[in-house]
Structure 1
Amino acid sequence: MEQLIGQPDAAGAQADLIKDGTQETFINDVIEASRSVPVLVDFWADWCGPCKQLAPVLEKVVRAAKGKVRLVKVDIEANRALAAQLAQVGLPLQSIPLVAAFWKGQILDVFQGALPESGVKKFIETVLKASGGGTLPATERLHEADTALETGRPDVAAELYSSVIGEEEENPRAWGGLVRAMLALDDEESAAAALADVPEKITNAPEVAGARAALELKREGRQAAEAMEGIQARLAANPEDFEARCELATALNAAGRREEAAGELLHVIRADRGWKDGAARQQLLRFFEAWGNDDPNTLTARRRLSSLLFS
């Protein structure tokens, strides 16, 4: 790569996050700059429709990265000599848009095509990890928010999730987290309002769907808890009152007693898996969606459910 056209500028790479590159500035803007921070190079042409779709997405994500990566845009038609030279080192510039990540003067990774914003973020996260640059700022805040929610600080979590949404309106993890934080604060009205504000594009994302299920179950659980005395009396009179047992499971879930809630539904499934067209299993699956696939209670109960269904 040291043979590329142009010579390094003695002043060093400029601090601009996004700039247009040429064959004269490539060494300075990309090769030299990449020795301290990963540099993405967007190869495009005016006749390329997908290039025009990708450009604003790239710029948005790079700005949100707050200096952890830079972006240089190279028009391959206006810089044919540079394009030809880069093609000789393996860049498939015959198919654009193409984005190459440079680190320490070398090509670290490449993607082709107009990726959606989520794909661009994933690519940059991979580049940052490989270069030791950590994660995107929004990702760091999401980790902080998740930790705050898990350690009983939902108010802090809500602020962090909201700050991410302010920068990335279509971030399903942030929306789902905000709803869950509102539920942890016993603010069902705000949780419902947040769900109503979720952008249509991500309304069915797993993170959002799980938060929606959590809100629905919390409402149902509150109603079941109010009838707890009657539910317990029905079970005392008839331990095989499956309707009462399912209502008890819903109340236990709303109280945060997930293991016991799952146990009540598994009891019904073990006794009569076809009861009411599998109503207990369906409710348990709703619990899994609301808890999240990585929740320890989901993992344990799912194993127990599998052993019942496939034994």
Structure 2
Amino acid sequence: MTQQPFSRPGAIDLSALKRPAPAAGGSTPSAAPAGGASAGSAYSVAVDEANFQNVLEASMTAPVVLVFHSATQSPESEQLARDVATVAAEYDGRFLAASIDVDAVPQIAQAMQIPQVPLMLVILDGRPATQPIPGAAPIDDIRALFNQLAQQLTAQGIAGRHQPNAFAAPAAPGEEGEEAEVDPRYAPAQDALAAGDIDRAVAEYQKLVDGNPADAEAAAGLAMAKVLQRTQGVDLNAARAAAAASPDDLDAQTLVADLDMLGGHVEDAFARLVELVRRTAGKDRDRAREHLLGLFGAVGNDDPRVLKGRQALASALF
């Protein structure tokens, strides 16, 4: 499966579809029903004519991966839809998997001029962000594709995430139409990230941390911005090859751990560094441990993966 760079072609033409009134509670798409190709995930949704517009609107927050499938035309496409939903769930909201059964809702496939099933299409800001990706693929290839897309998102400063289970939860009274307020203290750093100026983002977060070391959000932002800074311009395949060839090379191993973080493979990053701590001693061990602590900070100390990682680190140290 080849790399699919993000682009900004024209908006999707929905003129061939009916425009049903949105469901009460705002524009969040409905959850996938029981059964179906992609049900059962907090980050997947079964698309029909009633919620398709809302699914596209969800792509204003973070990418939506549309999967066109059909049990009658292509039985293997059902597995593809399930695998895409599985992989999307591994990225903690960076992607939403949206499955479209062309047997049940042929009008959507017709409106989008889908030539075949199975087919994947990444939507961002309501528009196709990649060329259509035809054919079935093993789940490892799907993971590789998502990893490439996640890295491109990060490089472009696109950090939005879909909310887990939000696709089934109605808005609470008084919450319709409300948006979460953004703390203005973080705006300069976030603006720098959006502009792709990683060095400026690091500097802005550093100012916040220097001014208030107890600011956990600023500390996490600084840690993640430093990950971006360390990985600018890095070739993923070359970095992985170097790490595989030199398993005790501290720089090679920490770089791949950073790349795993950017790709959403948080536990893989932690495990790599824990093993590095276990194998090293002296200054190298201290560097590996400090790097791992920095990644813990980027994810957040309350995250269960961090709690598990800290336990593994303690075991490696003692």
**Both structures adopt the same fold (TM-score exceeding 0.5):** no
TM-score, length of structure 1 as denominator length: 0.43
Question: Which structure features the higher share of helix residues?
Answer: 1
Higher relative contact order (CA 8 A, sep 6+): 2
